[in-house]
A = this chain, B = another copy of it.
Amino acid sequence: MKGQRHNKPCHLRRPRGISPVTIRRLSLYLRHLEDLAEHGQTTVSSRQLGESLKLTAAQVRKDLAYFGQFGRPGVGYQIRELAEHLRSILGTDTVSNVAIVGVGSLGRALLRYRGWRKKGFQVVAAFDVAPSRVGKRSGNIVIQHISRLPATVRKGHIRMAILAVPAVVAQKVAELLCRCGIEGILNFAPLTLAVPEGVAVVAVDLAVQLEQLNYLVNTFQPGAEARWKTARAGQS
What is A's interface to B at a CB cutoff of 8 Å?
A: 16-17, 20, 23-24, 27-28, 30-32, 35, 52-54, 89-92, 96, 98, 104-106, 108-110, 112-113, 115-116, 119-121, 159-160, 162, 183-187, 190-193, 197-221, 224, 226-228, 230-236
Is A236's CB under 8 angstroms from B208's CB?
yes
Contacts of A193 in B (CB 8 A): 235
A213:B202 contact, CB within 8 angstroms? yes
Cβ B208 vs Cβ A91 within 8 A: no
Q: Are A212 and B23 in contact (CB under 8 A)?
A: yes
Closest 9 CB pairs of A and B: A200-B216, A91-B218, A20-B233, A105-B109, A184-B217, A203-B236, A203-B235, A109-B109, A27-B208
Docked CA distance A214–B24 (Å): 11
A165 CB to nearest chain B CB (Å): 14
Q: For A210, what are the chain B residues with a Cβ–Cβ distance below 8 Å?
A: 98, 116, 119, 121, 160, 162, 186, 202
Q: Given A190-B31, A215-B23, does the pair A119, B207 have CB atoms closer than 8 Å? A: yes
**Do B106 and A113 have beta carbons less than 8 Å apart?**
yes
Copies in the complex: 2
Q: Which of B54, B207, B235 contacts A115 (CB 8 A)?
A: B207
- Contact status of A227 and B17, CB under 8 A, knowing A186-B213, A192-B53: yes
User: With a CB–CB cut-off of 8 A, which chain B residues contact A232?
Assistant: 20
In the bound complex, do residue A92 and residue B211 qualify as a contact, i.e. CB atoms below 8 Å apart?
yes
Partner of A234, one of B52, B108, B159, B203: B203
CA distance A54 to B192 in the complex (A): 8
Contact of B236 with A205 in the complex, beta carbons under 8 Å: yes
CB of A136 to closest CB in B, whole Å:
15
Q: Given A105-B108, A120-B211, A200-B234, output 18 extra A-B contacts at Cβ < 8 Å.
A: A16-B227, A17-B228, A31-B190, A96-B214, A104-B109, A183-B221, A184-B217, A187-B235, A192-B231, A197-B226, A198-B220, A198-B224, A201-B213, A202-B235, A203-B236, A204-B209, A205-B236, A208-B236
